[in-house]
Amino acid sequence: MPRLHQPVFLCYTRRMPYTGDGTELVRKRREKLKEPEDYRVVLLNDNYTTMDFVVEVIMMVFHKDEENATRIMLDVHQKGRGIVGMYPYDIARTKANHVHALARQYEFPLKCIIEKA
């Protein structure tokens, strides 16, 4: 008569031929999860968007304090681009879309791109 509560272990490193109840055990697959790739969120300079608006957007969308937001805005103004943060793709795309929506709402041509880090 077969045992009703026979323990089954799935941590063997080779194929087990028989468990006693008519089934075979197969080695357990262990999947390793990768960290998501990071993407840079970059603001691009233009000749029309005000510096105050850029600082406000950085503070609102990216949760930077006023000092860091001003530093990033000056990078955008002087170098033509400024890295605002690094995020997984979905978050980076959402933040870029939020920047574009705010710029459109206030009728500024501010552009924001994402690029692989």
- Residue 49 near residue 80 (C-beta atoms within 8 A): no
**Tally of domains within the chain:** 1
- Confirm whether 48 is domain-assigned: yes
Helix (H, G, I), strand (E, B) or coil at 44: strand
Domain boundaries, position 70: 38-116
Judged against a pLDDT cut of 80, whether residue 2 lies above it is answered with no
Kindly report the CA angle at 104 between 47 and 56, in degrees rounded to 5?
A: 70
**In a domain? residue 12:** no
Phi, psi of 116 (to 5 degrees): -65, 135
Q: Confirm whether 27 is domain-assigned.
A: no
pTM for this model (two decimals): 0.72
Is 97 within the bounds of a domain? yes
In a domain, 90, yes or no: yes
With left for phi above 0 and alpha for psi between -120 and 50, is residue 46 left, alpha or beta? beta
The CA angle 113-96-82, to the nearest 5 degrees, is 50
> From the CB of residue 99, how many other CB atoms can be counted at a distance below 10 Å?
23
CATH number for 67: 3.30.1390.10
pLDDT digits (tens, 9 = 90+) for 35-80: 999 999 999 999 999 999 999 999 999 999 999 999 999 999 999 9
pLDDT tens digit sequence for 8-39: 555 444 555 555 666 666 667 788 888 999 99
Residue 33 lies in a domain: no
CA distances from 59 to 1, 28, 82, 110 (A): 72, 48, 14, 15
